[in-house]
Each structure stands twice: as structure tokens, then as C-alpha cells.
Copies of this chain bind each other. A is one copy, B any other.
Amino acid sequence: MSMTGRITAQDVAKLAGVSQSAVSRVFTPGASVAAATAAKVRAAATALGYRPNSLARAMITGKSRIIGLVVAHLDNQFYPVAIEKLSVALQAKGYHVLLFMASNTEGEMERLMEDLLAYQVDGIITASVAISNDVTRRCSDAGIPLVMFNRGQPESGLSAITSANALGGRKIARLLVAGGHRRIAHISGWQEASTGRDRARGLVEGLAEAGLAPHAMIDGLFNRDTAAEVARQMMLGPTPPDAIFVGNDHMAFAVIDALRAMGLRVPEDVSIVGYDDVPMAAWGAYDLTTVRQPMMRMVEATVETLIAQIDDPTRAAQSLEIDAPLILRGSARRPEDDNAGL
């Protein structure tokens, strides 16, 4: 029943018999305080249950230690995992996460920028959302660093962390070719997104190495229903593919479900390969061959890049592509020769 309204540094100061500045200094790492006073102050502080008000501190210092995290698509398991890791990594660095859900619709990000700026965030991380030039400008105007996670935007001058998507696509092409497939189709990721485009490009390039071209290539929009329907149409066509590279695991699961519902077997009738290696890909029901986006390294790179830019605002933006290894499981026929240069 302590009915203590708000406890301020003033209250602690009074109890400890020192000035408010002294209290402040005790809670400011690296400030000049005698050991004796520090002890008195800490005692008084814990007695009263005092904690410095981060908001007031933010006003003075101009640093809120808040990072805005903008996310869409929480139904794709890749993003919850990303949020978790990002959030833990930032907490470890003394930052806090203000979370925003963005539908990927026109003007949504602009609206969110209002809130992000109003809360004086020190930096912004966007996970798979498109950034308009307007947003870019307002960030640089306000001097707020922004890092894009799992999406690139070459011309934007913004930092971006992705896996090596094009190379990943190429690896998949080689795997499927080595597996003896010849009619290799692609249900691509959303072609408005760099990840979707790069993976598709990689596949095309990889097939070209073997003198092949994609048997079919249709945009699945990173959407389960769309992907499933596209897969169905492909298999009902006159010359169905013998392998499908699906633009991410999330859609690949839907494709596998759809094929099985048609009575087709994976990988006997069709090989399926995904991209991401979300935890679910390893589950027995799918056992999905895929390309692993190295989550921890991507998260670390994102956090490091962001904090580096916060600490040194003159620092240039950087784009990083992290190598993504092939993960062989049961949903795609394996090459006879296991050393097929994969």
C-alpha cells in the first residue's frame, strides 16, 4: 500500500541528503561520484524503489534508446523468429523495441513514420516492407538510421541485410539439375520485392548454366493460397513440371499440401524446394529441402549496422549479403553424386 505517486530523483536526493544532480550522476555510468555518496544514494533509491525516468532522460540526451521495428506477415514463421532474435539482440545492447505492424499497402509506412518520429526513435528496422522515397527522405532529414531486414532496395541509399538470394536461387537450380530434373518450374516470391526477384533471377541464371530455361514461372506473391492455386494449375497443365522451386518455405508448405491433396507424391512425382529454412521446414510432415537464411548472422549484422549508424551518423549505409547454404532434406530428389559441386 505504498501509495507512492511518482518517485523522482528529487525524493531520493532528499532522503540521501544530497543534491538531485548527485542522484543523477549515480545512475549515469561514467560520471564523477564519490564511492560514499554513491552508496548512500543507492541505498535511498532502493528504499524508495526509484528508477530513473527514461523519458525524461531521453529528452535531455536526445537519445531515446528506442528502436522502431516495423513488420508485416507474421503468418510466415520466418518473421516471428526474426522478431524474437532482433528483439533479444537489441535488449542485450540496452535498446528497446517499439513494434509496429504494417500491412504492405499504399501509404501505410508513411503513416507509421509519423508515430516513429513522434516517439523519437533512435533507429528503425523494417522487415519486408517497402520503403518509399518519401520515407527515405524523412528519415535522413530527421537523421534517423534505417536498416532493411531481408529486403534490399539498391537505389535507396539505405542499409540492407539479406542473404545471398540470387546465389541461393542458383544453388537450387544446380541441385535440381543434378537431381536429373528437366522441367523445373518456379512459383516465385512477390516480384515487387527484391528477395522475390533475386531468387528468381538466380534460378534462371543457374538453369542457364545447364542450358535450360524455367519450365514455368509464376508469381506466388508470398501468399499461401495463391501459391497453392498456381501449383495446382501447373500440375494440371499439359506438361507438368517435375520440380518446383517455391519462393519461400511458407508458400512451399501450401504447395506440398495442395499436391498431396491431388494425390501426388513429393518428391516421387514432383520435387519441391523452398527458401528460408524456417523451423517448421524440419518437421516430419514436410521435411522440406530448402536454402537456409542464416538468421543469427543476419540479425547480428542488422543490429550492428544500425547501432554503428546511430553512434556515427556520418557513417555510410551498407548493404550486406550473407551466404545461404542449401539444406538437403526429403522433399526433393537428391543427386546420385552427392558431390555434384553443391
Contacts and interface: CB of A to CB of B under 8 A. Distances in A.
Interface in A110-169: 114-115, 117-120, 138, 141-142
B53 A55 contact: no
Protomer copies: 2
A187 to B, nearest CB: 17
Contacts of A99: 69, 83, 87, 97-99
Contacts of A88: 101
A118 B283 contact: no
Contacts of A52: 118
Contacts of A2: 141
A64 interface: yes
Contacts of A6: 62
Interface of A: 2-4, 6, 49, 51-56, 58-59, 62, 64, 66, 69, 74-75, 77, 79-81, 83-84, 87-88, 91, 96-101, 114-115, 117-120, 138, 141-142, 253-254, 256-258, 260-261, 279-280, 283-286
Q: Report, nearest first, the 3 A-B pairs whose CB atoms are least far apart.
A: A257-B284, A285-B285, A80-B80
Given A79-B80, A260-B285, 20 more contacts: A2-B141, A4-B141, A49-B138, A51-B117, A52-B118, A53-B120, A54-B120, A55-B59, A56-B59, A69-B99, A74-B81, A74-B83, A80-B83, A83-B83, A97-B100, A257-B283, A257-B284, A261-B284, A280-B280, A285-B285
